[in-house]
Amino acid sequence: MLELAVVNTAPGEKVLVVEDEADVVEMLVRAFNRAAGFNVITAADGAVGLRRAREESPVLVILDLMLPKMPGLEVCKILKGDSLTRHIPILMLTAKAEEIDRIVGLELGADDYVSKPFSPREVVLRAQAILRRGETPAETQSLVAGPIRIDGLRHHVSINGKVVHLTSLEYKLLRTLVQRRGRVQERDRLLSDVWGYESVIDTRTVDTHVRRLREKLGKAGDAIETVRGFGYRLRES
């Protein structure tokens, strides 16, 4: 039985499901309709998915990787490369055998994935976790750590004055590490605070995003230290 959890979506806000398998689409539509607050729209191929994401501004895209016309990874890459759609979180649907694609998807900026076969409830819970990553007024403050400057109002990150383009998840991860600099953050804790998960799922999600964040920060990214067996820490400068 699905929980009737209330999600912070306003009436009329849309979740876009991009998937060609009709039975999967039907199962997801039913599950999301039962969870309050969702208005589900669908697309049966990558090209239509891309168009609907651009035209209808969904609050979340649930994206299957195996799609006709345009593969899911290509859709993901285009959405994350476009300033109009970059902020829309993406939850990928992947087959077990698609581990490489899943990693590539996370590196392209997808927020999370669910492996097939999945329970519709799991997809709804993951979607709710992504959408719960809302903000409090304290998060609009600006923060500085060495050469890294976080503009909390505009969501800009700059290194020595040069803007670095981060996904919404990378931004939140960096902000959390900077706020707690000098203290080790366990992967589980980061999953709960940054990703919004109540229970431990695959902690490799954290590793993938930290690696990507480090790359984007360049030399300044060296300040994010791996603490073997525990998690990550931003070095105090």
- Residues of the shown chain interacting with Ca ion in the complex, contacts defined by CB under 5 A: 20-21, 64, 66
State the minimum distance, in angstroms, from the CB of residue 130 to Ca ion. Answer: 21
Going from the C-alpha of 153 to that of each of 9, 138, 181, 185, the distances in angstroms are 21, 10, 20, 25
State the minimum distance, in angstroms, from the CB of residue 24 to Ca ion. Answer: 7
Residue 173, SS3? helix
Q: Please identify, using beta-carbon distances, which residue of 17 and 35 lies nearer to Ca ion.
A: 17
Q: Please identify, using beta-carbon distances, which residue of 20 and 111 lies nearer to Ca ion.
A: 20
Q: Please identify, using beta-carbon distances, which residue of 53 and 177 lies nearer to Ca ion.
A: 53
β-strands 60-64, 90-95: how paired? Answer: parallel
CA distance 159 to 146: 9
State the minimum distance, in angstroms, from the CB of residue 2 to Ca ion. Answer: 23
CA distance 188 to 199: 8
State the minimum distance, in angstroms, from the CB of residue 98 to Ca ion. Answer: 11
State the minimum distance, in angstroms, from the CB of residue 10 to Ca ion. Answer: 30
Q: Please identify, using beta-carbon distances, which residue of 46 and 109 lies nearer to Ca ion.
A: 46
State the minimum distance, in angstroms, from the CB of residue 21 to Ca ion. Answer: 5
| 148 and 174 Cβ atoms separated by less than 8 Å | yes
Q: Please identify, using beta-carbon distances, which residue of 7 and 28 lies nearer to Ca ion.
A: 28
State the minimum distance, in angstroms, from the CB of residue 89 to Ca ion. Answer: 20
Q: Please identify, using beta-carbon distances, which residue of 30 and 132 lies nearer to Ca ion.
A: 30
Burial class (CB in 10 A: 0-12, 13-18, 19+), 208: middle
Q: Please identify, using beta-carbon distances, which residue of 21 and 188 lies nearer to Ca ion.
A: 21
Burial class (CB in 10 A: 0-12, 13-18, 19+), 180: middle
Which of 159, 140, 152 lies closest to 215, judged by CA? 159
Which of 96, 218, 230, 219 lies closest to 166, judged by CA? 218
H helix or E strand, kind and range, residue 159:
strand 156-159
